[in-house]
Structure 1
Amino acid sequence: MNTRNRAAGDGAQMLNLLPTVGGPAPERADAARNRRRILDAAARIVAEQGPEAVTMNQVAHASGIGVGTVYRRFGDVSQLLWALLDDRERQFQEAYLSGPPPLGPGAPAGERLDAFLDALVDRVVEQRAILLAAQTAAPSARYTSGAYLAMHTHVALLVSEARPDAHSGLLAHLLLAPFSPSLMHHLSQEQQLSAPELQRGVRQLLTLRAAPDARPLPDGP
């Protein structure tokens, strides 16, 4: 099996091993449609007004689904917001693990890494309010969450393919470090930088050259 096919297989296998961001439990078609409508309505409210504006009544009205059904499906606002994060994370994982190239398998590792970082900027900017709330509640939980571990493993695989001599595990952490929700919130809200500007900044960071006498990092996990 060549490297590209192996990476694609590893990605598909990894997606199946992430219960914390897995798909919803099997459900009837009508229940699945209702769930989708509720989550899409909550996403619109968050995008337009922020997570603090989400109420179960407002989501029910926006989705056209009875408020009793919304409560039965999600319990309360906090559970609804976490379900929304899980849903968006699942979609993002499917895109970078099994979607079309260059984000998904089928493109060179360097192109896939560029596409992944661009897509991650879009995702973090779009979901910054919910992600920031989650980070504030439990700052260190980011690094042990299923979502972060999946991204770290994916980036490490791409780095090891593009640079076999590199410490891929360390570089993956460093490449993901700028995507801390608090930093992205500061840059996008307080510094008023757009997603394209942030994407260009990440690309420029990746093209900086090390000093001529810098020693290569040792291999590592």
Structure 2
Amino acid sequence: MSLIPIRPGSPFGTPPERSDAARNRERLLQAARDLVAEHGVDAVTMDMLACRADVGKGTVFRRFGSRAGLMMTLLSDAEAEFQREFIFGPPPLGPGAPPLERLIAFGEARIKYVEEYGELARAAAEHSPQNRHDAPPVVLWHRHIEMLLREAGLDRDPWLLALSLGATLDPERMLHSLRAHGVAPERLAASWRELVTRLLKDC
């Protein structure tokens, strides 16, 4: 498996930026993260970012292209880190733990991810050129869940079961539970743990 970006045209593994360009990029992204934390995703504008980072508005547009591009870049960085953790990181989320433990850890990590980045995920999905269910990172999550089901010995249509499990981790669905119904993240994690444990108990 290899890392898959959220933002089209920005594949991981491209030649590294010059050090000054990388510093400027990180400064802009950190300013954007701070604004999102302070005001929420929907309130952040390119003007606000230019003002916070003390750069011209043209600089912001040259770097990100549009507001949607900024949001997708922010999410791509977060998604890249999440992918590194479940593909290459330490167990139980990464390789080395039994498949059930990895599956539980994956769901718990995804819930934490949505709690922190769910609004960005929602904003990015609104501007994605693809169906959100066919976006490359979503396909990667599905493959990962399917792989763990197969490793656990589940042979009853693991591809479709992986789709069903993935649907319970859909960011929009989880945000609705968290925001509209006041469901605590710990309760979501416990529900995920119960679901996958029961699914694999006879394997």
Measured against the shorter chain, the TM-score band is 0.7 to 0.9
Identify the match of residue 56 of structure 1 among 23, 46, 69.
46
Cα deviations by residue, 1:184-221 (Å, 9 ceiling, x for unpaired): 121010111222221112112234479x9xxx9xxxxx
Residue pairs, 1:40-51, within 5 angstroms: 40-51=30-41
Q: In the alignment, what sits opposite 1:149?
A: 139
Question: What one-letter code is carried by the residue in structure 2 that aligns with 1:15?
Answer: S
Identify the match of residue 183 of structure 1 among 146, 159, 173.
173
Q: How far is 1:164 from its partner?
A: 4.2
CA separation of 1:52 and 1:197: change in aligned 2, threshold 3 A: same
Q: In the alignment, what sits opposite 1:109?
A: 99
Cα deviations by residue, 1:141-173 (Å, 9 ceiling, x for unpaired): 122111101111111111100124232211211
- Select between 65-74 and 95-104 the one with higher mean Cα deviation: 65-74
1:46–1:54 CA contact under 8 A, matched in 2: yes
Identify the match of residue 186 of structure 2 among 196, 199, 202.
196
When the two chains are superposed, the root-mean-square deviation of aligned CA atoms in Å is 2.7
Structure with the bigger percentage of helix = 1
Q: How far is 1:66 from its partner?
A: 4.6
Q: In the alignment, what sits opposite 1:35?
A: 25
Q: How many residues get paired? A: 198
Q: Does 1:96 align with 2:86?
A: yes
Residue pairs, 1:126-141, within 5 angstroms: 126-136=116-126, 141=131
Question: What one-letter code is carried by the residue in structure 2 that aligns with 1:73?
Answer: R
Question: What one-letter code is carried by the residue in structure 1 that aligns with 2:12?
Answer: G
CA separation of 1:164 and 1:192: change in aligned 2, threshold 3 A: closer
Q: In the alignment, what sits opposite 2:148?
A: 158
Q: 5+ residue gaps in structure 1? A: 1-13, 217-221
Q: How far is 1:137 from its partner?
A: 5.7
Q: 5+ residue gaps in structure 2? A: none
Cα distance in 1 for partners of 2:130, 2:25 equals 30
Cα deviations by residue, 1:109-133 (Å, 9 ceiling, x for unpaired): 1111111110101112222222223
1:124–1:184 CA contact under 8 A, matched in 2: yes
Question: What one-letter code is carried by the residue in structure 1 that aligns with 2:21?
Answer: A
Question: What one-letter code is carried by the residue in structure 1 that aligns with 2:113?
Answer: R
2:68–2:127 CA contact under 8 A, matched in 1: no
